[in-house]
């Protein structure tokens, strides 16, 4: 028999279920298992944490088999530990067959799932609600989830783990977020490619058309890139390819070498296809989901209409 002392708040499962036990009581393994199966039967793995100010925290890990004959044979482990913050158990990943909308409906943006498919975090991206003057979705919503952000970065760097990379370059503005995170992950420096008018040092400039068709100018400092410097170039998204191709030109005109391109998604536009044909690229989008991104509408957007009525896709 194992003893477990808990004070308020009650023990909470990663799925949001609460298990109310007496503050000072003895829990038998069998009765605890029966309670867990009632409150979290749909999970294959769950972690429960009960925080007791001034006391220890008991952590209960279990695996519930869906067949009733095997349920009582599963092991329950209770470990005492110092005070811990509530968190979910480690994410296990499988593939493919991910149902975007079903997952998003049950997924709060800050919640960390116990089990998920590869690239699960793509369902966290929010649809455009403001019309054609904006991008068709907001990928940055996934950065709010610590596990999603981590998994996104890991997926992007994986193809380059054994490559020679001297520095990471990120494109203003959203490429700064992913680029800096990738630079930190790989232990490399970070070079910013800025929009016109933000740099006070000597720069090289390049005209380009962005995804809206607007003519713009980007610039990059001249005292970093040199001949044969191998650069991993990062942006959040590649839609038409105009912004990325301008950044590539800036680097190559100064003698640098593009070691690779990393972006959450490279759409199959003419520019996107040119980039994928010429350079080693890394994205987070599985092949079976690429058509949704090319069509600029994700199945996961349906869940936003249900859970967030004010966040329906209103692209014009």
* Angle at alpha carbon of residue 310, lines to 309 and 312, rounded to 5°: 80
Query: Among 49-53, 193-197, 238-242, 298-302, whose mean pLDDT is lowest?
Result: 49-53
Please name every residue paired with 220 in a beta bridge, in sequence order, or none if there are none: 204
Q: Report the alpha-carbon distance of residue 23 to residue 183 in Å, rounded.
A: 47
- Containing 171, the helix (H) or strand (E) segment is strand 167-171
What's the mean pLDDT in 117-131? 93
Q: Report the alpha-carbon distance of residue 46 to residue 62 in Å, rounded.
A: 6
What's the mean pLDDT in 23-49? 44
The model carries a pTM of 0.68
Q: What is the pLDDT of residue 85?
A: 38
pLDDT: which is higher, 114 or 166: 166
pLDDT: which is higher, 197 or 67: 197
Which CATH fold would you assign to the domain 100-294?
A: Rossmann fold (3.40.50)
**Would you place residue 90 in the very low, low, confident or very high pLDDT band (cuts 50, 70, 90)?**
very low
Q: Report the alpha-carbon distance of residue 195 to residue 216 in Å, rounded.
A: 8
| SS3 of the chain: helix, strand, coil, percent, to 5 | 30, 25, 45
**Most confident segment among 18-22, 56-60, 275-279:** 275-279
**Would you place residue 2 in the very low, low, confident or very high pLDDT band (cuts 50, 70, 90)?**
very low
Q: What is the pLDDT of residue 242?
A: 97
Q: Report the alpha-carbon distance of residue 146 to residue 93 in Å, rounded.
A: 16
Q: What is the pLDDT of residue 17?
A: 42
Does 179 score more than 80 pLDDT? yes
Does 75 score more than 50 pLDDT? no
Does 58 score more than 80 pLDDT? no
Q: What is the pLDDT of residue 106?
A: 55
Domain-by-domain residue ranges, the chain?
A: 2-81, 100-294
pLDDT: which is higher, 307 or 267: 267
pLDDT: which is higher, 56 or 37: 37
Pairing of strands 24-27, 46-49: unpaired
Does 76 score more than 50 pLDDT? no
* Residue 192 three-state SS: strand
What is the C-alpha radius of gyration for the chain, rounded to an integer number of angstroms? 24
Q: What is the dihedral of CA 242, 176, 263, 123, to 10 degrees?
A: -120
User: What letter would DSSP give residue 88?
Assistant: P
Does 208 score more than 70 pLDDT? yes
Q: Report the alpha-carbon distance of residue 73 to residue 71 in Å, rounded.
A: 5
Phi, psi (rounded to 5 degrees) for 18: -110, 140
Q: Report the alpha-carbon distance of residue 66 to residue 89 in Å, rounded.
A: 19
């Amino acid at each position: 028999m194992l003893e477990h002392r808990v004070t308020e708040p009650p023990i909470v499962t990663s799925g949001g279920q609460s298990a109310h036990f007496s503050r000072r009581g003895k829990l038998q393994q069998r009765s605890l298992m029966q309670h867990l199966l009632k409150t979290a039967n749909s999970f294959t793995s769950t972690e429960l944490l009960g925080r007791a100010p001034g006391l220890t925290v008991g952590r209960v890990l279990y695996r519930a088999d869906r067949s009733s004959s095997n349920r009582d044979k599963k092991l329950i482990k209770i470990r005492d530990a110092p005070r811990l913050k509530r968190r979910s158990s480690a994410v296990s990943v499988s593939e493919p067959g991910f149902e975007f909308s079903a997952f998003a409906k049950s997924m709060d943006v800050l919640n960390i799932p116990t089990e998920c498919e590869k690239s699960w975090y793509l369902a966290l991206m929010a649809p455009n609600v403001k019309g054609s003057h904006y991008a068709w979705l907001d990928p940055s919503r996934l950065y709010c989830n610590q596990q999603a952000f981590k998994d996104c970065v890991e997926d992007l760097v994986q193809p380059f783990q054994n490559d020679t990379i001297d520095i990471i370059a990120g494109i203003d503005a959203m490429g700064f977020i992913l680029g800096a995170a990738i630079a930190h992950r790989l232990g490399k420096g970070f070079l910013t490619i800025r929009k016109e008018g933000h740099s006070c040092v000597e720069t090289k400039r390049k005209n380009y058309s962005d995804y809206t068709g607007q003519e713009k100018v980007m610039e990059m400092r001249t005292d970093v890139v040199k001949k044969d410097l191998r650069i991993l170039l990062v942006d959040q998204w590649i839609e038409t390819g105009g912004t990325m191709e301008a950044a590539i030109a800036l680097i190559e005109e100064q003698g640098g070498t593009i070691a690779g391109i990393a972006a959450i998604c490279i759409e199959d536009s003419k520019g996107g296809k040119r980039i994928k044909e010429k350079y080693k690229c890394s994205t987070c989008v599985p092949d079976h989901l690429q058509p949704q991104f090319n069509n600029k509408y994700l199945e996961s957007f349906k869940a936003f209409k249900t859970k967030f009525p004010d966040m329906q896709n209103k692209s014009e």
